[in-house]
Amino acid sequence: MKVYISFDMEGISGIVDWDQCTGNGPAVAMGQELTLAEINAAIDGALMAGATEFVVNDAHYRMQNLDPRLLHGDATYISGAHKPGYMMEGLTSEFDVIFFIGYHGSISGVPSVMSHSYSPSVFTELRVNDIEVGESGVNALVALGQRVPIGLISGDRATALQAEPLMKQAIMVQVKESITRYAASNLHPHLAHKRLSEAAERAVEAAKSIDLPAIDLPATITMSFQTSDQAELASWITGVERADLRSCTITGSDPLALYRSFVGVCYLTRQAQGR
């Protein structure tokens, strides 16, 4: 039984500020410790259900947030920011189930701690087939393309609400309740770890009966941008069509190709910065 874990940090219990998940210093060190503990709790639960192999993909910020020596289950650790598969780097059809740990809500949805959609300086909204999604919804395209079910998603209530339309059978673990974009009521880490471990065990046991993400093909990703300049830049990529002044679409029958084009949009619009 092979488990793929993509993790973010904004949805980890106890993390409510950018200083806890970017840069250097004691705040981010604590955030990284909290994140590692939640990932290890999920791995421990999966081991209890018979999982034998783990790949952990670092999907946050510069994507080098963990000490790989401390990962449980002898997990392989994928790190580094320049990855063509981005938040889903390393996922292949050989995996049996996917976990999304520490995910968060989109910037255009209900209040969610540090809400954003890939890049808060670029996107104001993302939709898959006209369903507003968070990052989990876009990443689900890769799960569909590789035909691997998503078994567990953790974060706040907004994370669960936005994931549910496409991933109805995924076990949702709420480890915090967002109050505003910069405040939350957080479960004690011990309780969060217990819930994650139990959910991971159930997700591995149920993996073969979990449906693939409910995304009809051909699918369309609709991207709304902060500025018209960003929409113009995005339209330079083959397959990306301008929809209106500040939005573009990508449509296709291959979910992996759709995601790869989306990753290209992410890198181009974020890195250009007018230079």
For 214-270, the pLDDT digits (tens) are 999 999 999 999 999 999 999 999 999 999 999 999 999 999 999 999 999 999 998
Please report which confidence band the pLDDT of residue 273 belongs to, taking 50, 70 and 90 as the band edges.
low
- To the nearest whole percent, how much of the chain has pLDDT over 90? 94
Residue closest to 60 by CA, chosen among 89, 25, 87: 87
- How high is the pLDDT of residue 274? 57
- pLDDT greater at residue 23 or residue 16: 16
- Mean pLDDT computed over every residue of the chain: 96
What mean pLDDT comes out for the span 124-132?
96
CA distances to 49, 117, 129 from 251, in Å: 38, 19, 9
- To the nearest whole percent, how much of the chain has pLDDT over 70? 99
- How high is the pLDDT of residue 108? 75
Residue closest to 180 by CA, chosen among 113, 106, 99: 113
Render pLDDT for 129-179 as a digit per residue (tens, 0 to 9).
Answer: 999 999 999 999 999 999 999 999 999 999 999 999 999 999 999 999 999
In the numeric block, which tokens belong to residue 131? 């369903």
Clarify whether 82 is annotated catalytic: no
- pLDDT greater at residue 113 or residue 23: 113
Q: Which of 60, 72, 104, 116 is catalytic?
A: 116
Please report which confidence band the pLDDT of residue 110 belongs to, taking 50, 70 and 90 as the band edges.
confident
User: Do the strands 53-58 and 2-7 form a parallel or antiparallel pair, or are they unpaired?
Assistant: parallel
Return the amino acid letter for 15: I
275 pLDDT above the threshold of 60? no
- How high is the pLDDT of residue 91? 98
What mean pLDDT comes out for the span 38-59?
98
Q: Are 42 and 137 in contact (CB under 8 A)?
A: no
Q: Are 242 and 223 in contact (CB under 8 A)?
A: no
What's the CA gap between 255 and 272, in Å, rounded? 26
Which segments of 80-236 does DSSP mark as H helices, in order?
A: 135-146, 157-163, 189-206, 228-234
Q: Which residues pair with 223 in a beta bridge?
A: 126, 248
CA distances to 77, 180, 223 from 10, in Å: 19, 13, 22
Residue 198 main-chain phi, psi, to 5 deg: -65, -40
